Structure 1
Amino acid sequence: MEQESPSLECFITDHEGFHGTIKNSTKDFVVIEIDIHGRAVNRPLIPDDPTDLTCTEVRGSSLNKNLNANLRPENTASDEVAVGMTGLNDDDVLSQDCFDLRVILGSSANEALEQFTNRMLVCSGEQKNMEMSLGSFPDKHQRANVHRAVRHNFPFLMTVTNQEEIWVREDPGFKELSELVSEGEAEDFFRFIDAKAPGLAFTFLTDNSKEHRTRIHHFVSRRFGKLVETKSFTDQDGTAITVRLRERGRWPKKRTAADCEKQVDTYTAFTLRKENLETLEAISYMAAALGVIPSDFSYAGTKDKKGITYQSMTVKKISPQRLVELTPEFERRGMQLSRIIPASEPLRLGRLQGNHFDLVIRDVRPHGKCSSTDLETLVKEAVENVKAHGFVNYYGPQRFGNGQSIQTDQVGLALLKEDMNAAVRLFLSPDEGDDLHNKAKRHFLHTGNAKESLALMPACRARERLMLRALHRYGKGRQGCEQAWLSLPHATRLFYLHAYCSRLWNQAASYRLRALGPRPVQGDLVQAERLRHDPTPGATHTPQVHVVTSAEERDNVFSLDQVILPMPGNTVKYPENIVGEWYRDRLAQDGLGSSRFRIPSLKLNAPGSYRPLLAIPHNITYKVHEEPQVTEHLSPQRISLLTLSFDLDASCYATVFVREIMKCEP
């Protein structure tokens, strides 16, 4: 066992390892998603294969996740959303942040719009009838996309088309509602109205003043009465108003098959190949070109930016023919689409078995001095060792914002302690460098002036701008900081809690291995069978958890790859040995207890889950090569490189696997 860092401390294997570098170019890091049937998503299309014609599971609709937690399914009893620790990649919980106006409008028009909105907010009440032209858009799909994206990013604006030109101005209806409720609630309500998502309801905060509720009822009825209906309901917390979409048209009591067929959404499934693009960046480009919203796309998991990646996707309301027509446009953006077929349902996050990796590790060299023959022996010993024994299933450094001065788990801890002010300051802490966004962050920390910092913050930093805008409106006190966090999507807020829990899991795994060794002991948590596919990546649930007894330890009933450790939360079981005591002491050290994984003011709840202590790679192949390298003023030299192919289960990190092989950070 060797110490590497506060989070990734242990190795399972005892070979020597070697040095090398990865991700020197995008072609050195290729990721191919493996679907739930165990097949690569870039395989040739087989028309007669029934699993190629539909996504065989998923019942929910692909709703825009940026709608605030005030939006809820109509039959949900609680506003609090219970989200398990799924072991998602970092970007999974940062998905539906906003419609990318940089892509839709272009950088210059987007910057002009940002300046217009800032000027309008600063001059609110002083200048009336301020308006701005966004330009002409001949294509009606593009116009529709501009309307949706602008209203989504700036709910206090209204958009108007004059011929083919789109103008924006302040929405008087938003201003009227913001005098009845908070601006944050008004923004969420207008996003709900604009989304027109069937099956969702919007609930205003509890209001025990009947007169005030009546004024809200009248406003909604007067402004949106043809679209929605309102109703007051009372529960243990008081009385609140719920708003629901009206049913379209008047259906007969018994619907015909043709009537039902008209309501079925159409989906198109495809495989996306992207290079040097984030998954969400690719979706923004495609949504803008197709005239749909980003949340109309669904996928099983996000993929790395720096590399070539293949993943399955579905898009709603777009035919296969339409997608084929635009493939040349997508190719100019570094994307290629294949396997374009009709589908009956969207994909669901986590609906994959794992990923296949093809890596090139360059400049391979031993830690000490040895010949090239010895190097090949070192590589063979390392790969075969990890192939047989696996590696510690750590979360990779990228989950915590590798290289950032303030890492995401620190923000998560501040949120769990409900220190909203500290969480905001950590979120807005600058990194090294003189980038515009770092200058804006430094200005805020030094002056506390959110208005001036907002003017400095680049338009591309959507989350920071949302938070600064909220701080400008509500102030820097506790309530203002809460509103600042509530201005971010629910998934974004939850991401920081997950980051803290992931860091704690990494530390628990290191402690478990150092303190109790490489075999299951009494009090460990195990599962009697090896993990089968679960829609929640990397997690098993309470009914499968078993506590190792002294007799089972003596008889070596279980193996280390069956040991699981809990991701902290409200409902998990902790080990019944010194590891359980470590969890309790570690949480207490951070000022937390087992019941502190719920933040009602931010509508966050983390029940917890379980993650295997070890990850086992599959289908490993490898080969050491030599290639010439020409350096300036020197004669050509030959350097060694390692090609490495393998499969990992969902939620496992290729960089952690490579670290185990190399016995150093890749």
Structure 2
Amino acid sequence: MASVYFMLKHEGFSGSIKNFTRDFVVTEIDISGNQVSKSTTCEDVASSFVEKTSHSSKKLDASILEKTECTSDPPSPESLHLGVILGPIINDKLEQFASSLKSGCSPDQELSLGCFTNKHQRANVHKAVKLHFPFLMTITNQSEIKVKESQDYKELRQLVSEEEADAFFRFTDDKLSGSSYTFLPDDNKEHRTAVHRYLSRRFGKLVETKSFTEKGETSICVRLRERGKPKKRTAEDCRQEEIYTAFTLCKENLETLEAISYMASELGVLPSDFTYAGIKDKRAITYQSMVVKKVSPERLKKKAAEFERRGIHLFAVRSVSEPLKLGRLRGNHFDIVVRDLKPHIYDGPDPLAYTEVLVKAAMEAVKTSGFVNYYGPQRFGITQRVQSDQIGLALLKEDMVNAVHLFFTPDKGDEPQNQAKRHFLETGNAKEALMLMPESKARERLMLRAMNRYGTGPDGCTQAWLSLPHSTRIFYLHSYCSRVWNEAAAHRLSTLGHSVKQGDLVQEVTGTMDDSADASSNQIHVVTEEEERERAYTLAQVHLPMPGNTVKYPENAMGTWYRERLAKDGLESCRFRVSSLKLNVPGCYRPLLAFPRNLNYQLQRERGEGADNCTEVSDGAGSDKATEDQFKLNLTLNFDLLPSCYATVYLREVMKFMVN
């Protein structure tokens, strides 16, 4: 943030935030005013977050195997270990054979895996090979099993990405009657026709295909035929059979969109099939409501163990009748620990006691007066060289190529994703960059696949952005608008002060958790000269607009500031619509101030590094300074904030200390 205006003049203090993920826990408050459930309704998920993360991988594998053996559904990858079925020598030969086929330098057309006299054992070999190597086909000659390259796979691979081809062949091998697989969005009608024709020719007796459009994106859905069902399904049939599964998502050190991308990939659905009320912090343990479409509760539960390996935990899995809507929440509850508190400047005899006084004064002051309702640094990308608002500005200017280059600007370090980004910017080769990009980087891979298919020119870059879910695309535009709002808030307070001025925009504040962070235009009132003179409104009622195409701007000096600020970025005539990306930013109104609710806090003196050795020290005049130096002061606090308000911004006001 370029400049930060502090509301209050208290001294503040320093401290360490987010030493451990457990020091920053965020729990969503649902539309009914309750914290989302942290308890589970299925046996597949452990009851304690700490217990789950402490399980060894060996125990986890054993639990997965046990669950797989007692179900009639297709085995998971962990249940079919080729090294166990084939033995280490044959397994190594198979991996070498598969690797050489992929690289195009295999001297052999097929490989024998040996003889298997037991029918059940042969079935396991077939399943395991297809599960781990979808591009191979298995052939049985009496009791001998051979593998060779699948021509069907090879043909599909010329039409879609490797990840899609792998997922589709695993889907057909599972043979779950009535199940479906959806390819990534594809706006090229001719290409979709080619895919339809291939599927009809190669799998026509097994599957039926249908193109559908959702949120402006067209995809191909493939469904396994059900016995006794008619060959063609009507749109009404599809609507009636829609399945929605709700759950509480608990994630650790993951972005919400990153977690969704991973789950979508594992479940074979689109990221847009997941709906949520709001995005949560990455550097924290967070609990939030989520709904996924086209996935049953039973199927989602069976994926729980795999998700846990990525720091994703599911609670309260259940069927519901509809998806979630963005913004359908009443706020968030925070449980935070700030460690090793110290005064900013102090060389007196009792720093702990002095710090306690500072903390109590700061907490009470902000509780009463509130804090500037800035968007937090995490909205823009704390550690990234190019922050999300810069990308949003390029998109608003419809400079798709520059926006792609900004998106692929590598951060510091030689991590694989940075190497892949660097390679793309240096060579422009999307295919090679895609091969270097880690599987976990779903957004980057989607864009690279699109540019590999459509090119890296303006049209190809537009297709790259369209390959991302709508919620991801609009996020970058909102980031830019958030940056402008932050600067507007600092300018408003530093130039017009803390009193309400003529031309300000205000809204009545009820003081309940029913308040929204945004206000609709018909609730906004322009302060008159008489109302300023009579002090009819307070600063807590002042709202500033987020730029967009439906908002009005303040009718005072702030209105001029907005116009000049947008013109500075070349947006003086911006309509806040990007038609080519199907994006529209209407704008909204955001309260200038925010207030913590249901605030509780406690100071603790801790001996050394461990919390278990916590010991209170007397504040009396006889305390020994050498003894005092052995202790650290921690602050534990919990509170609620309305939607879109940031706990890190609240702490920054309390501490007068930059918090990320």
* Counterpart residue number, 1:581: 560
2:47 matched residue in structure 1:
none
Among 468, 475, 479, which residue is 1:488 paired with? 468
TM-score normalised by length of structure 2: 0.68
Q: CA–CA distance in 1 between the matches of 2:98 and 2:587? A: 44
Match of 2:340 in 1: 363
Alpha-carbon separation, structure 1, partners of 2:363 and 2:9: 12
The one-letter amino acid paired with 1:549 is T
1:655 equivalent in structure 2: 648
User: Residue 508 of structure 1: SS of its match in structure 2?
Assistant: helix
Determine helix, strand or coil for the equivalent of 2:333: strand
1:492 counterpart letter in structure 2: T
Give the partner amino acid of 1:33. Answer: E
Please tell me whether Structure 1 or Structure 2 has the larger radius of gyration of its CA atoms: 2
Kindly tell me: are residues 365 and 528 of structure 1, through their superposed partners in 2, closer, same or farther at Cα, counting changes over 3 Å? same
Which residue identity does 2:500 align to in structure 1? P
Distance 2:127 2:4 in 1: 53
Identify if the C-alpha distance between structure 1 residues 175 and 329 changes in structure 2 by more than 3 Å, giving closer, same or farther.
closer
Q: Which residue of 1 aligns with 2:391?
A: 411
User: Counterparts of 1:310 and 1:245 in 2: how far apart (Å)?
Assistant: 33
* Aligned with 2:423 (options 443, 446, 449): 443
Spell out, residue by residue over 1:611-636, the C-alpha distance to the aligned partner (whole angstroms, 9 max, x if none): 211111101111211111269xx997
User: Secondary structure of 2:638's match?
Assistant: strand
* Residues 35 and 354 in structure 1, CA contact (< 8 A), matched pair in contact too: yes
CA distance in 1 between partners of 2:148 and 2:324 (Å) = 34
Q: Which residue of 2 aligns with 1:303?
A: 280
Rounded Cα–Cα distance in structure 2 between residues aligned with 1:201 and 1:466: 9
Unaligned runs of 5+ in 1: 47-100, 151-156, 232-240, 252-258
1:562 aligns with 2:562: no
Distance 2:562 2:600 in 1: 38
Q: What residue is the counterpart of 1:516 in the other structure?
A: 496
Q: Which residue of 1 aligns with 2:551?
A: 572
Deviations 1:470-527 (A, max 9, x none): 4445444333333333333333322221111111111111111112111221111122
CA offset digits 1:9-68 (Å, max 9, x no partner): 11112211111111111221122221111112247799xxxxxxxxxxxxxxxxxxxxxx
Q: After TM superposition, give the deviation of residue 532 of structure 1 in Å.
A: 7.0
Could you tell me which residue of structure 1 aligns to residue 594 of structure 2?
A: 615
After superposition, what is the alpha-carbon deviation per residue over 1:395-432, rounded to whole angstroms, capped at 9, x for unaligned? Answer: 11111111211111111111211222222221221222
Amino acid across the alignment from 1:304: D
For residues 140 and 356 of structure 1, the distance between their equivalents in structure 2, rounded to whole angstroms, comes to 50
1:524-539 equivalences under 5 Å are 524-530=504-510, 538-539=517-518
Cα pair distance change 1:526/1:104, threshold 3 Å: farther
Q: Does 2:537 correspond to 1:544?
A: no
Structure-2 change in CA distance of 1:141 and 1:447 (3 Å): closer
**Which amino acid is 1:557 matched to?**
A
Cα distance in 1 between the residues matched to 2:138 and 2:296:
27
Partner residue, 1:386: 366
Q: Which residue of 2 aligns with 1:71?
A: none
Cα distance in 1, alignment partners of residues 412 and 201 from structure 2: 52
Asked if the contact 2:447–2:465 (Cα under 8 Å) also holds between the matched residues in 1, the reply is yes
Task: Check conservation: 1:629, 1:638, Cα contact below 8 A.
Answer: yes
Distance 1:166 1:350 in 2: 51
Shift of residue 460 of structure 1?
3.1
Label 1:42 to 1:572 Cα distance change in 2 as closer, same or farther (>3 A): same
Partner of 1:95: none
Deviations 1:224-280 (A, max 9, x none): 99846799xxxxxxxxx99999999679xxxxxxx9999355555443444445545
Find the counterpart in structure 2 of residue 23 from structure 1: 18
Change (3 A) 1:434 1:277: closer
Distance change (3 Å), C-alpha of 1:397 and 1:222: same
Aligned to 1:646: 639
* CA distance, structure 1, for counterparts of residue 32 and residue 126 of structure 2: 40
**What does 1:172-321 correspond to in 2, within 5 Å?**
227=208, 263=240, 265=242, 267-279=244-256, 297-315=274-292
| Equivalent in the alignment of 2:7 | 12
What residue ranges of structure 2 are gaps of 5+ in the alignment? Answer: 42-75, 84-90, 113-121, 173-177, 213-217, 611-625
Query: What residue is the counterpart of 2:607 in the other structure?
Result: 628
1:522 partner SS: coil
Q: SS of the counterpart of 2:517? A: coil
Structure 2 equivalent of residue 432 of structure 1: 412
Give the conservation status (yes or no) of the 8 Å contact 2:396–2:574: no
Kept after mapping to 1: 8 A contact 2:38/2:315: no
Determine if the alignment matches structure 1 residue 39 to structure 2 residue 34.
yes
In structure 2, how many angstroms separate the alpha carbons of the residues matched to 1:567 and 1:518?
20
What is the distance in 1 between the residues matched to 2:359 and 2:489?
26
**Cα displacement (A) at 1:214:** 11
- Kept after mapping to 2: 8 A contact 1:142/1:291: no
Relative to structure 1, the CA distance from residue 409 to residue 476 in structure 2 (aligned partners, 3 Å threshold; closer, same or farther) is: same
531 and 477 in structure 1: CA distance in 2 versus 1, 3 angstrom threshold: farther
2:66 corresponds in structure 1 to none
CA contact (8 A) 1:221 1:229 kept: no
Are residue 505 (structure 1) and residue 488 (structure 2) matched? no
Post-superposition Cα deviations, 1:171-200, rounded to whole Å, max 9, x if no partner, equal: 68768989xxxx9xx99xx99x99999999
* Matched-pair identity in %: 52
Residue 600 in structure 1 maps to residue 593 in structure 2: no
User: What TM-score, normalized by structure 1, do the two folds share?
Assistant: 0.68
Whole-Å separation in 1 of the counterparts to 2:126 and 2:265: 12
In the other structure, the counterpart of 1:52 is none
- The letter of the residue matching 1:478 is P
Give the secondary-structure state (helix, strand or coil) at the position aligned to 1:349: coil
Please say if residues 300 and 348 of structure 1, whose CA atoms lie closer than 8 Å, have aligned partners that are also in contact: yes
Give the number of the structure with larger relative contact order, counting CA–CA contacts within 8 Å between residues 6 or more apart: 1
The residue type paired with residue 329 of structure 2 is: L
Q: Give the corresponding residue for 1:256.
A: none
1:442 CA drift (Å) = 2.8
What is the aligned partner in structure 1 of residue 56 from structure 2?
A: none
Query: What is the deviation of 1:289?
Result: 7.9
Structure 2 counterpart of 1:74: none
> Alignment partner of 1:304: what SS?
coil
Query: Judging changes above 3 Å, is the alpha-carbon distance between structure 1 residues 43 and 141 closer, same or farther for their aligned structure 2 residues?
Result: farther
Residues 458, 273 of structure 1: alpha-carbon distance in 2 compared, 3 angstrom cutoff? closer
Q: Bigger CA drift: 540-549 or 635-644?
A: 635-644
Q: Within 1, Cα distance between the matches of 2:111 and 2:562? A: 56
Give CA deviations for 1:580-620 in whole Å, capped at 9, x if unaligned.
11111111111113534222222222222222111111011
Aligned pair count?
557
Task: Give the 3-state SS of the residue equivalent to 1:492 in structure 2.
Answer: helix
Is the partner of 2:367 in helix, strand or coil? helix
Taking structure 1 as reference, are residues 334 and 205 closer, same or farther at Cα in structure 2, changes over 3 Å only? Answer: closer
Instruction: Give the superposed CA RMSD.
Output: 5.3
